[in-house]
Structure 1
């Protein structure tokens, strides 16, 4: 299973997350009770849920009305109050992590220590209800057992009025919270991403991707935002089953016409040893009809520089072509060990098993295991392979 959080068009806010979770099946009545009770030590809120239509899309709107608000509170005292709430341990701990993300962002922006940070908007009772409601709904749907993938966040544009005066959108706190995430400006001059929504997103997402990976959608939930635009102001959450995982790789290649077979074999092994995911060598005809070879290497980004350096040193190449951040589909795979008795001796063989839609599409023994059995038993490798298969 995989959960896709899609804030690419209308951004993200705490109440939009809650609405989308309710659309996916979270209990609205229980959420109302939890949110209103949790906010009591910071003020008073009234929570209501209703189905509304946003530019043709039926969605759930979570309205959190602040009836009473107490003064701003310093971060340590704020966390003390959260810890005293009558909530499930996991909900409380994750909510504290969300608030910590916001406090760290505020401390960096204002040049303060964490203990001296004061929550204004975030310490308000409605923001507390938003965060705790989001996290409670997340656990109530057992989403902590699923892979959560976040897509880029539309942050809006223009200016917004805050307790610190008029500031540009996205607000500094949002930018700080969304470090290492992917943001999209616009599509309107309005605030689309709130610090609370952004912090919850960063806390629960396991991975952030630019595109929806190859999936099979099972259910979709839409959480409505308060404002109306020329586009549907909704946050989309997709519940899916993976068809295949998506992976980002670099494809690195160069032409070679001066290396011996032994030197190519040495380079081949060296590239795999330093982390290349795959290496291939293809015979080609080069300029002036010279025979040569095309070296193609698949590598993850973190190993790119080591791979390139090795190719330069071992080949003396004057130019290497790099196609970065290419997407490849990879089937789900797992490894299984089985025991085989050959010539009255037990041998352990590891199989790599590939799945598509839950069905096995390949089950292959690892070459190194077959090689060891052949060397130990004296039988031909081909015979061992046939016996194992």
Structure 2
């Protein structure tokens, strides 16, 4: 099973996450109990969770009421949380909640330019923030989502201005933007705050990978969590579960033409790029301008590495430019490296093999080249024979 969190219509907040997770089947009475229990250590909190109709969409609404919006230092909050226990809240749930609070605190620290130990939670208020984050963490783990692949779509941020302890601020709040660095987002579509700092912090800690499409077959559940605002469209967060189609990831492709570089430099550049994190490097013979023989250097890389690898290409080859195709989707299979003991003419050797799967079905198994080469050298057996023996022993054929 895979999970997708879809905040691209109405953004995301703590109570919307709780509502959607309850809508997926978490016991609302347990969630309410835990939220009120933890929140009560920081203020006066009451929680009502009910099924409502939000602009025609059936959704669960977690209404968190707090009459005491006291600020609290981040370090004091952690100390208090460490002293609270509840039979339904595991160490994993508490650890996850602390990660969310650290995300919030780091954002506030960056925005205000103060040390982490000096951070106080003003805007969210301690009691309702604790209720939202602990409640979301519990529900997320109760559904088993912490052990699943979780995708996220770009959150809608909203617009306009909001009142804060620091005066009127533009939406999104500075902390929200800080948390969502390197995450794709959508502006608007209304003059209200749609994505809150708490919602953003929960989102980035829950999501393994952000995408701009549904990378799944939706055959299980579609759930909705309602927000407080009544808008011209359904103000709901959608969470979807299903089964994985062929997995995809987002990569970048770097290219440059080289017609004045020696083979030694080309080989060194390939090694350097692979050492620094390139996923693949290819050199293609070609005819360059003025009919000169040359090479096309092509690099596949994770998108966050493209600037680093582009600089390496420029420094190592002397090229004056690197073409970048910034975001390319590629279909990939699940891969796992497994060590196997193989009998080579009466001698047992451990060989790592790469197993590729689609939907739990093994579609290919290949021996790791370095292991096969090492055995070939040690046992004085041709490499092609080593690979043939490995294929036969793993029932792969030629």
- Higher mean Cα deviation, 176-185 or 129-138? 176-185
- Distance, in Å, in 1 between the alignment partners of 2:311 and 2:110 is 38
Give the 5 Å matches for 1:222-233: 222-233=224-235
Q: TM-score w.r.t. structure 2 length?
A: 0.83
- Higher mean Cα deviation, 174-183 or 194-203? 174-183
Aligned counterpart, 1:216: 217
Tell me if structure 2 keeps the 8 A contact 1:153–1:184. Answer: yes
Aligned counterpart, 1:355: 357
The Cα shift of 1:53 comes to: 3.1
Aligned counterpart, 2:28: 28
Tell me if structure 2 keeps the 8 A contact 1:122–1:128. Answer: no
Q: 1:213 to 1:65 in 2, by over 3 A?
A: same
- Higher mean Cα deviation, 198-207 or 262-271? 262-271
Tell me if structure 2 keeps the 8 A contact 1:223–1:236. Answer: yes
The Cα shift of 1:198 comes to: 2.1
- Distance, in Å, in 1 between the alignment partners of 2:142 and 2:224 is 17
- Higher mean Cα deviation, 41-50 or 231-240? 41-50
Aligned counterpart, 1:168: 170
Give the 5 Å matches for 1:368-379: 368-379=370-381
- Distance, in Å, in 2 between the alignment partners of 1:125 and 1:311 is 52
Q: 1:55 to 1:263 in 2, by over 3 A?
A: same
Aligned counterpart, 1:40: 40
Q: 1:304 to 1:38 in 2, by over 3 A?
A: closer
Q: 1:381 to 1:184 in 2, by over 3 A?
A: same
Tell me if structure 1 keeps the 8 A contact 2:72–2:126. Answer: no
**1:195-247: CA deviation from partner (whole Å, max 9, x where unpaired):** 2222222333344x242463333433211112122322111222244334433
1:60 is the counterpart of 2:44 = no
1:300 is the counterpart of 2:299 = no
Q: 1:50 to 1:388 in 2, by over 3 A?
A: same
Q: 1:341 to 1:154 in 2, by over 3 A?
A: same
Give the 5 Å matches for 1:183-194: 183-194=185-196
Tell me if structure 2 keeps the 8 A contact 1:78–1:123. Answer: no
The Cα shift of 1:306 comes to: 5.8
Q: 1:365 to 1:30 in 2, by over 3 A?
A: same
Tell me if structure 2 keeps the 8 A contact 1:44–1:125. Answer: yes
- Distance, in Å, in 1 between the alignment partners of 2:269 and 2:75 is 57
The Cα shift of 1:293 comes to: 3.9
- The SS at the match of 2:172 is coil
1:130 is the counterpart of 2:132 = yes
- Distance, in Å, in 1 between the alignment partners of 2:316 and 2:77 is 59
Aligned length: 387
**1:76-118: CA deviation from partner (whole Å, max 9, x where unpaired):** 5544443333323333343344334434444555565555555
Give the 5 Å matches for 1:1-389: 1-66=1-66, 68-69=67-68, 71-87=70-86, 88=89, 89-110=91-112, 114=116, 117-123=119-125, 125-207=127-209, 209-212=210-213, 214-217=215-218, 218-257=220-259, 268-269=270-271, 271-287=273-289, 292-301=294-303, 303-304=305-306, 307-309=309-311, 311-312=313-314, 317-389=319-391
- Distance, in Å, in 2 between the alignment partners of 1:304 and 1:112 is 32
The Cα shift of 1:302 comes to: 5.6
- Distance, in Å, in 2 between the alignment partners of 1:136 and 1:338 is 40
Q: 1:169 to 1:351 in 2, by over 3 A?
A: same
RMSD after superposition? 3.2
- The SS at the match of 1:41 is coil
Q: 1:154 to 1:370 in 2, by over 3 A?
A: same
- Distance, in Å, in 2 between the alignment partners of 1:160 and 1:324 is 35
- Higher mean Cα deviation, 266-275 or 363-372? 266-275
Q: 1:265 to 1:128 in 2, by over 3 A?
A: closer
- Higher mean Cα deviation, 9-18 or 130-139? 130-139
Tell me if structure 1 keeps the 8 A contact 2:74–2:116. Answer: yes
- Distance, in Å, in 2 between the alignment partners of 1:264 and 1:120 is 56
- Distance, in Å, in 2 between the alignment partners of 1:171 and 1:264 is 48
Residue segments in structure 2 that go unaligned for 5+ positions in a row: 392-398
- Distance, in Å, in 2 between the alignment partners of 1:77 and 1:312 is 50
- Higher mean Cα deviation, 233-242 or 105-114? 105-114
Tell me if structure 2 keeps the 8 A contact 1:4–1:212. Answer: no
- Distance, in Å, in 1 between the alignment partners of 2:64 and 2:374 is 66
